[in-house]
Amino acid sequence: MLGACVRCHIWWAAIALFCILLCGKRAEAEGATLTWAIKPRVCVYNASESLCRLMLDVQWHSTEAQSLCLYRQDQEAPLVCWTAERAATAQIWLETAVTLDLTLRSVETQAVVAHQTLEVTRQSAAYRRARRNAWAFF
């Protein structure tokens, strides 16, 4: 009886190992997983200024080495490119008055790998009257 139980456990262990190897191959076949972030994601500039000026921090990492370029929607030339990297960071000086779409594209295929939006807002100079006098207690 004990021998049958041991054979059963070995059989289930072999099946589990086969499933793990099969799932690992499927994840490889689907391609690399890429994670990226831009900071800040919002830029607010004063009404007295004409443009939003900021230093943009870009970070990305992937499970496989990739050659990527960062583009902004209103320019054909890339802001920065990386060749055969698994992770990268960059600091980029930007000036814009409108919300920007930023994309990471593959160097080989020009396919968009990732996309994020930099929200740009103009702060209005709103003057409003106080609701009550500063000396009022109630």
Predicted confidence (pLDDT) per residue in 69-95, tens digit: 999 999 999 999 999 999 999 999 999
CB-based contact 73:100 (threshold 8 Å): yes
- CATH number, domain of 44, equals 2.60.40.2550
Does 2 reside within a domain? no
Does 138 reside within a domain? no
Structural domain containing residue 113: 32-123
Summarize pLDDT for 115-129 with one digit per residue, the tens.
Answer: 999 999 988 766 655
CA dist 38 and 60 (Å) reads 9
pTM above threshold 0.75:
no
At 18, the pLDDT band (50, 70, 90 cuts) reads very low
Average pLDDT, the chain: 79
Work out how many domains the chain is built from and give that number. Answer: 1
